[in-house]
Structure 1
Amino acid sequence: MRRATEATAPLSDAEPRHPGERDPYLTQLGERIRSLRAARGMSRKDLARGAGVSERYLANLETGTGNASVLLLRQVAAALNVPLPVVLAEADGGNGARAAEFGQLLQWLAQLPPADLARVREACRNALAPSAPFDARHQRIALIGLRGAGKSTLGRALAAARELPFVELNGAIEQEAGATLSEIHSLYGQAAYRRYELRALERVLREHERLVLATPGSLVSEPATFNLLLANCYTVWVKTSPEEHMARVVAQGDMRPMQGNSEAMADLRRILQARTPLYARADAVIDTSGQSLDASLQALQTVLQDAGA
């Protein structure tokens, strides 16, 4: 089957109900694509290159100014590494959290082999026994959130206070791949990085019954990996303001994935907005905005004690 191109499947103007009015579905479609792109930390240029379309074409698609062919939307979905139904799904009354949950569920189910899918179907059919109030998950504390929130600094302090091992999942990923993070992305691509990320998490969970774990900010965008984390760890979303995120990232000398982007703050806000419903799946949340390390650590300890973790 021939690959769709902009030349063979042009982005034509949708028929408006009134002059200048955009079709609501196309607007929602564009917002969903932009949100999915932001959640995965991809620039418009990255997505356009991965989907085999121009940035101008993608910009028109994201702003809802035209009607794309299904084949081109399929290419965009493949570049985003999500099933096409996630891209095409209609909005659910503005409930971003529910939409994100639905998208995560679809992505996770799409990755399962038939035997595992049958088990999931059976589990959904039967009522599941409630979890114990205190179980093995509480022995592993995992910190999630965007870069610059303070996960590593806070994680090390918590591990020291509780005399627990501290693991930075980024380091475990590099050990798994035998390469640095930048080398993994440049040599093997994002799909390979995601495989190494999942393997690294599986290994860390096998090796540690008790630990404090700091995770990469984009881990929540990969359903299988995030669900594994949620099932095996007590997760805490470490959040802060966009301004503090940016200031800390710049202080670290790390501008991924916003390097060379003159609208870095706008991109960061978009990423935060897209990932918020995913980060919100955590068991607990603390806000480090304007807080010292000692104050943030005390807030984290209080949250954990209240949860029996």
Structure 2
Amino acid sequence: MNERTDDALLTAPTEGSELPDDAKNPLLVTLGDRVRNLRARRGLTRKAVAQAAAVSERHLANLEYGIGNASILVLQQVAGALQCSLAELVGDVTTSSPEWLLIRELLEGRGEADLRRARVAIGELLGTAANDPARARRIALIGLRGAGKSTLGQMLADDLDVPFVELSREIEKFAGCSVREIHDLYGTNAYRRYERRALEETVQIYGEVVIATPGGIVSDPATFNELLAHCTTVWLQAAPEEHMGRVRAQGDTRPMAASREAMDDLRRILNGRAAFYSKADITVDTSGRDLPASFELLRSSVRENMARAGTAA
């Protein structure tokens, strides 16, 4: 079973998905949306989740389209396959204790800027957010496959005269096998552990570096928090069509071979992760730009940020 992230694709809709919305139970529709969004955020295929949850693909498809009234045991299996709590799957985890409710009340209705300040303050209070003086000189590129992280990352590292690290290669060194084999042999949870370990070691070794990160690194909050705390993050953003075109230009036809709905799935994955990618310090939109123009935009954005931080090369 291949549970890779960015090229994970959906199967075709079932007949039940054609039901008009007013014929569906609103609670089941909401539950289905949550399951589908969690799956998209993690970049997992419906087939992979169905296999991990020990349910049929049709059963899972019906659940996602709001026409499957799954038992609580099935929902528990699906939650396990999606690496989340049952509470997160079926509702708001912040209903789990009085303190959660009080904290939620304080944060409810706040804008993204306020929420970010609260997150940083909580991290400092609990000692989980490091005041890392090298943060401005560690540049981590995030985004979907086809964003140009490897190509632009190497160019940026050469320009800044710092090492370039592809985190996927470091993950493979730790595991002793390819990323695909990690997923196939050991599963997504093992992959996430290797990913966290590779990031921690890279941060420990390098005070100056450009890092190309896997597209799904935002799927694990603990690892993503680690990245945000120790690196200046740059979201290499592009239109879904450009992501797909670049992947195909590299000779990778797996997305197109895996599903007739490749573009729909790519959009869903991007939509599921965009809110996390947007937490980056810098956003560089390469849509409609060739490689030299994209690099110049990335270079100028990073150098301007370094100048503001007083660390310009």
TM bracket (short chain): 0.7 to 0.9
Instruction: Give the counterpart of 1:85 among 84, 87, 111.
Output: 87
Quote the Cα distance in structure 2 between the aligned partners of 1:125 and 1:163: 32
Q: Is structure 2 residue 304 aligned with structure 1 residue 302?
A: no
Distance verdict in 2 for CA 1:304–1:188, change over 3 Å: same
Answer yes or no: is the 8 Å Cα contact 2:139–2:211 preserved in 1. yes
Structure 2 residue identity aligned to 1:35: N
Q: Which amino acid aligns with 1:261?
A: S
Matches within 5 A, 1:280-295: 280-295=278-293
Which of 165, 168, 171 matches 2:163? 165
> 1:187-266, aligned counterparts within 5 Å?
187-255=185-253, 259-266=257-264
Q: State the shift of 1:126 in Å.
A: 5.2
Provide the C-alpha distance between the structure 2 equivalents of 1:77 and 1:256, rounded to a whole number of angstroms.
27
Map 1:1-309 onto structure 2 (within 5 A). 20-89=22-91, 123=122, 135-255=133-253, 259-307=257-305, 308=308
Q: Give structure 2 stretches of 5+ with no counterpart.
A: 1-15, 94-103, 105-118
Once superposed, which parts of structure 1, at least 4 consecutive aligned residues long, lie more than 4 Å away? 122-128, 255-259
Aligned residue number for residue 99 of structure 1: none
What is residue 94 of structure 1 aligned with on the other side? none
Return the offset for 1:250. 1.3
Q: Secondary structure of the residue that 1:237 maps to in structure 2?
A: strand
Gaps of 5+ in 1: 1-12, 14-18, 92-101, 103-119
The 1:258–1:69 alpha-carbon spacing in structure 2 relative to 1, beyond 3 Å, is farther
Number of matched pairs:
263
With over 3 angstroms needed to count, the CA separation of the structure-2 counterparts of 1:45 and 1:136, relative to structure 1, is same
Offset of 1:82 from its aligned partner? 1.2
Answer with 64-73 or 30-39: which moved more. Answer: 64-73
What RMSD, in angstroms, separates the aligned Cα atoms of the two structures? 2.9
Task: Assess, with a 3 A threshold, how the Cα gap between structure 1 residues 60 and 53 changes in structure 2: closer, same or farther.
Answer: same
Instruction: Read off the aligned partner of 2:163 and give its amino acid letter.
Output: P
Mapped to 1, the partners of 2:139 and 2:209 lie a distance apart of 6
Q: 1:220 & 1:124 partners in 2: Cα distance?
A: 17
Q: Which TM-score applies when normalising by structure 2?
A: 0.77
Q: Does the CA-based 8 Å contact 1:169-1:200 persist in structure 2?
A: yes
Per residue, is there more helix in 1 or in 2? 2
CA distance in structure 2 between the aligned counterparts of 1:223 and 1:206, rounded to whole angstroms: 20
- Per the TM alignment, residue 89 of structure 1 is displaced from its structure 2 partner at its CA by 2.2
Amino acid at match of 2:176: G
Q: Deviations over 1:129-165 (max 9, x none)?
A: x998x94211100000000011111111111111010
Identity, % of aligned positions: 52
More displaced stretch, 23-32 vs 276-285: 23-32
CA shift in 2, pair 1:124/1:138, >3 Å? closer
Question: For residues 216 and 201 of structure 1, what CA distance do their matches in structure 2 show?
Answer: 11
**C-alpha distance in 2, partners of 1:160/1:135?**
22
CA-to-aligned-CA distance 1:99-129 (integer Å, 9 cap, x gap): xxx9xxxxxxxxxxxxxxxxx9x9579599x
Q: What TM-score, normalized by structure 1, do the two folds share?
A: 0.78
Q: Which amino acid aligns with 2:32?
A: G
Which residue identity is paired with 1:241? Answer: A
Q: 1:219 to 1:125 in 2, by over 3 A?
A: closer
**SS of residue paired to 1:220:** helix
